[in-house]
Amino acid sequence: MASEQEIKTNSSLKEFQNLLDQDFKNRELKENQIIKGIVSEITKNFIVVDCKAKMEAMIPIEEFKNDDELSNLKIGSQIEVYLEKIESFKGEIIVSRDKARKMKAWKKLEKVFESQEEMTGYITGKVKGGFITTVDGLPCFMPSSQIDVRPLKKIDHLLNIPVKVIATRIDKNRGNVCVSRRAVLEKSKNAEIAEAIKSIKEGDIIENAIVKATTDWGIFLDINGIDALLHVSDLSHGRVKKPSDLVNINQKLKVKITKIDKVTNRVSASIKALTENPYDNIQEKYKVGEVYEGEVIKLMDYGCFVKIEEGIEGLIHNSELDWTNKNIKPSKIVSVGKKIKFKIVNIDKETKRVSLSYKATLNNPWEEIKNQLDKEVKIKINNITDKAIFGQIEGKNLSGMLHYKEISYQENVEDLKKFKKNDVISVKILQIKDEKIKFSKRALEKDPLDWFKDNKKKVGDVITTRIHEVLKTGVKVAVDEDKKLIVNIRKADLAIDSADARPEVFSKDNKLDAKITEIDLENRRIKLSVKAAQLDEQKTLIAKFGEGATKSGATLKGIFEKAIGKKKKKEK
């Protein structure tokens, strides 16, 4: 049986438990929220915090080392912690200072992201593509391009020190935040520039603009602390190859403010705006068709540029450099710095383009060669193709073509084999058209077709030829004694009777009477026919003996025999 003292003790414990339970009921502790606690003890490894729970919470000391919080922490300090578990399976309360800081920072970031307010962060380390930046205990990502307004080779001076940043992107689902230090610097700089720009206006002339940097497309200037761009097209009315050839870093220039963009705070300047545009009165100073002198300033694949005067340049196209070669390289004719004469071909004031001609100031060899048309010249063979010979006229930079048909009147392509490169031969200039020359070698000889003119032969005449060559399709006959005029007689024109028209019955050098059926001297076409000659002879015999022969019943054979017999008697 329990003693009276034990009964009193148990009663006191129950009463204390009831009071404690009632006290915990009045405390509003909810998991996954931030609560406040009082630091009750600071040990080597833990910070003991009273969160008004059944037990005191122990937080690892590492969670207080960010932002120098540990150095300011003391017993009795009130701190915010994140309540993870009111009571674990061990009966302990589990809280986190680090998670509380991150949750608070995240909520703060969500607010300042919309307003783009500046925050203080610490760059704590480098990762791929950027840096880890801790903002109120929350790790954020800062891309390398966002650490400064210009690329930095080293960032050691920025590590673990307070820097101002702006949140540029928040991904709540992934818990990712991107921040930018560059945006803060640009914002501050833009504010300064906007204030400075108020002191200048478009049209102002600046006497001491300082050259900060040069590129191929322009010059960056410092105008009283304001960055300005002097584009390469605003340097001069003429062509500028490289801005760096005209200015040096820190050189002072006189410029005119041409544009101020107050939205982007960009300022544009110009040097050429300080001078009069030379193209305004160019047509009064220079006339199309007149010859002037200038300096070659640039060579291109398609031509060269010539400086006519300061600010005015003209283009000489390749086709206007040389009379004989339209695609010649400019470097073979002129060089940079050379002074040359030129003729103005065209002036386009609107586009500021002037077209020039260099060859127009030189003697035109095509005009000179016209006087030698149909005259004999000597050419040096440059090339031989399968159809023609190409050669250059001696003493002139002009070349032409000698077709194989113009080598001889036989028009034999094998004649090309008689010549070789660098041979010098005599030819006659046959034609000059569209800056192309045609030569003829056979034109230096007497034309075999002149035989018909010299002997007054015409269509219908019968001539005596000599067989030159027997072919399967007919025969070739020599009309003249020198055998320079060779004409082909077709098989069908060799005889009246097809049996007698076989080429194999004829022999070389045999005489053959043939009738001229066509003379086309222009197209060099001659047609002869043995058959036509025989038909004419037959008609003559019939006309002479046919009437008497018909009455006596004589045959055509008898008429021919009778006629031939009479001729034989007369010969005897």
Sign of CA dihedral 199, 202, 205, 208: positive
Sign of CA dihedral 118, 124, 125, 128: negative
Comparing CA positions, the residue from 329, 300, 325, 157 lying closest to residue 239 is 300
CB 288 within 8 Å of CB 344: yes
Encoded tokens for 172: 């709540």
Local mean pLDDT, 10-residue blocks, the chain (572 residues)? 58 62 58 80 83 79 72 81 74 79 77 80 89 84 88 85 88 81 82 74 85 87 83 80 83 87 81 83 88 92 90 91 88 92 91 90 86 88 92 88 89 90 91 89 86 87 90 90 86 86 88 90 88 87 62 48 52 46
Q: What is the pLDDT of residue 10?
A: 63
Q: What is the pLDDT of residue 560?
A: 53
The beta strands (E) that lie in 394-510 are given as 399-403, 424-433, 436-440, 462-470, 474-478, 486-490
What is the pTM assigned to this prediction?
A: 0.48
Question: SS3 for 134?
Answer: strand
CB neighbours of 10 closer than 8 A, spacing ≥ 6?
A: none
Comparing CA positions, the residue from 510, 523, 465 lying closest to residue 489 is 465
Q: What is the pLDDT of residue 500?
A: 82
CA distance 508 to 466: 8
What DSSP element (H or E) covers 297?
Answer: strand 291-300
CB 117 within 8 Å of CB 183: no
Q: What is the pLDDT of residue 1?
A: 45
Q: What domains, with CATH codes, occur in the chain?
A: 19-100 (2.40.50.140), 116-187 (2.40.50.140), 199-274 (2.40.50.140), 279-361 (2.40.50.140), 367-444 (2.40.50.140), 453-572 (2.40.50.140)
Q: What is the pLDDT of residue 552?
A: 41
Number of H helices, E strands in the chain: 9, 30
Comparing CA positions, the residue from 499, 501, 564 lying closest to residue 529 is 501
